[in-house]
A and B are shown apart, each in its own frame.
Chain A
Amino acid sequence: MGVSREYLIQRTLLLFAVVLGVVIIVFIITRIIPAHPELLWAGPHATLKQIEEARKELMLDKPIYVQLYYYLINFFKGNWGVSWRTHRPVFDDIINYLPATLELVTVAFIIAIVVGIPLGVLAAIKRGSWIDAVIRVLSVTGASVPVFWLAMIAQLIFSSKLGWLPGFKRVDEIVVLETGFRKITGFILLDSLIERNWAVFIDALKHIILPSLVLSVYPMGLSARMTRALMIEVLNEQHFRASIAWGIPKRTALFKYALKNVIAPVIASLGLSFGYTLVGAYLVELIFNWPGLGYYTAMALLSYDYPAIIGSITFVAIFYTVINMIVDIIHAAIDPRVKL
């Protein structure tokens, strides 16, 4: 459909420019702003010798453009320094922790779409009624609630007090050991499905419910709001009125014709909210001991593990940029009105 080859090439070039910009901004923050970057890099418990090594590694005695040159070279080689908390290369750590975050965010988005869009349709149909007002306030609440606080409260009520759902980690280690479950992709839900290991699958599902529900609160509100606004627009449009006048039942007209015009832009806008949800995952993972990228970064922050902090933030920024580009391209492909 509507995506030309020039557009793809142009977008890819732009992507490289933005990634380069992101890396340079990180360089400025980590090397130019602090008075003694080597102290940050070596950590709070570093010996004099380690600090000296950090100085050499960062080449702080060389001019700034030489530093930047080697910084970029190392960056694109995947040589992002060593976390002194885990004693492993930061890049490897990030790749290890990534699947847990992606699994959590994916489930949260599925919940957001499955619950949010029907709520938005309902609000649009009942526009001006109390149902509309309640849905509106709820969806705005989703954007206003401090997600880490909501996670604490949800964990306290549903896990600690009522004991309905597990409140920590992705899966029960005992179940994993008993059933001989092995990780393939790192996505536990997917892996257990592939292996037909139902015990692990159900256990993992139970573990993901609370954190993903908490995390879905923002994108759910957003999709409900977007659906409502777009639905109202469609309901007022000529083609919809015409189809009603033509005698097509209202239910068919709504779900077959109106909703079709709404779903693509709603999902595109959800794609743009990906950044917020990812950052939400950062905060939620720490509460639920969910071993993802957010947990990794948060632990790094709490122990001043500077290479790990900066590495994971850079990674997420680039990841986010790539996702945004993909969303843009998909949006352009399905919606011819998007100007290239």
Chain B
Amino acid sequence: MMVSSEVKLMMKLLIKNKVSFAGFIIVLTFIFVGILAPFITPYPADARGWVFHMNQRLLPPSWKHPFGTDEFGRDMLSRVILGSRYSLIISVSVIGLALLIGVPIGLVAGYLGGKVGSALMRIADMFLAFPPLLLAVAMAATLGRGLRNVIISLAISWWPWYTRLMYVQTNSIKTMPYIDAAKVLGLRTPTILFKHILPNAITPVMVQAALDMGSAILEAAGLSFLGVGVKPPTPEWGLLVTEGWASINRAWWISLFPGLAILITVLGFNLMADGLREITDPRLRRLLISRGGRI
């Protein structure tokens, strides 16, 4: 099948590109830690945050607390580890929700074309007219703080990207002979859309979506910093950085480590993306294949 050979080629080229492969490993580690987080935190109660240790406030990094402790004496390593789970939840849900809204709209707009199609696309464009993050800030300021509202706010500002991608894909596929054949055979439009066009159009959208997870983590952190993100004491990385800000001159470690966690994770996604973008660029890909996949 067309789809799997595309994916195979990508994986092959990804592994051959050292920098992208490093990104791939970072992403795998992040997902692994995110899933296992509740079982591997040294101090699970500190990680969840509903505790207060008066006698160990603002301790610098040590063997007992490698990332130090915060204003309330909580172990920062535990909080950063559990934070990976929140970042994973946020990024997967935001991208998933954005796909659920964006893909069907793009599919229908691309297939129908004409006035309905372009009207749908104009609506998507209006959402894209907002600079990144700001629409989510407006939504989050309206809905209030909390994990669920962060996810909704980010997804609302995210779906049009997938609508656009899906629209372009659908447009190029709908003129193919096998779609005409399906029409002639009298298949219903939803069947053609979801059984014949969607599976063949979705690969680039899914690749883009997987790579966008890093940006979702970054934007969720931005929302937290502006005070419209998750509620304390949720150990979301952006909120951890923000909480350390007030005492950064006395205790630099509180902000430093969660920030590094964001940087490394997002870097992982983006390095992977960087390699893949070169590869998904057909001109460069042809060049790569002709040179045996070396960059």
18 A–B pairs (Cβ distance < 8 Å), ordered by A: A21-B122, A21-B125, A21-B126, A22-B130, A29-B138, A128-B295, A140-B270, A143-B270, A144-B214, A146-B225, A146-B241, A148-B242, A149-B255, A233-B283, A279-B133, A297-B137, A302-B226, A304-B141
Contact, CB under 8 Å: B134 / A148? no
Interface positions, chain B 212-249, Cβ under 8 Å from A, are 214, 218, 221-222, 225-228, 238, 241-242, 245, 248-249
From A140, A146, A282, contact of B226 by CB (8 A): A282
Contact, CB under 8 Å: A18 / B125? yes
CA distance A30 to B249 in the complex (A): 39
- A278 contact set on B, CB distance < 8 A: 131
Interface positions, chain B 51-68, Cβ under 8 Å from A, are none
Q: Mark B257-268, 1 if CB is under 8 A from A, else 0.
A: 001001100110
- A141 contact set on B, CB distance < 8 A: 263, 267
B43 close to chain A: CB less than 8 A: no
- B143 contact set on A, CB distance < 8 A: 33-34
Interface residues on chain A, size class: 35 or more
Interface size in chain B (residues, C-beta < 8 A): 48
Given known A-B contacts A22-B129, A128-B295, A301-B227, A148 and B222 have beta carbons under 8 A apart: yes
- B226 contact set on A, CB distance < 8 A: 282-283, 286, 297-298, 301-302
B residues apposed to A, CB below 8 Å: 18-19, 122-123, 125-127, 129-135, 137-139, 141-143, 214, 218, 221-222, 225-228, 238, 241-242, 245, 248-249, 252, 255-256, 259, 262-263, 266-267, 269-271, 274, 283, 295
Interface positions, chain A 143-167, Cβ under 8 Å from B, are 143-146, 148-150, 152-153, 156, 160
| Among B138, B259, B267, B295: residue with most chain A CB under 10 A | B138
Residue of B at shortest CB range from A323? B131
Given known A-B contacts A18-B126, A144-B267, A317 and B142 have beta carbons under 8 A apart: no
Contact, CB under 8 Å: A279 / B134? yes
Contact, CB under 8 Å: A146 / B263? yes
CA distance A247 to B222 in the complex (A): 53
- A316 contact set on B, CB distance < 8 A: 131, 134
Given known A-B contacts A144-B267, A145-B263, A310-B138, A152 and B131 have beta carbons under 8 A apart: no
Contact, CB under 8 Å: A152 / B255? yes
- Smallest beta-carbon distance B130→chain A, Å: 5
- B221 contact set on A, CB distance < 8 A: 146, 148-149
| Among A24, A152, A275, A298: residue with most chain B CB under 10 A | A152
CA distance A24 to B125 in the complex (A): 13
Contact, CB under 8 Å: A317 / B263? no
- B139 contact set on A, CB distance < 8 A: 29, 33
- B127 contact set on A, CB distance < 8 A: 25
CA distance A40 to B139 in the complex (A): 12
Residue of B at shortest CB range from A305? B141
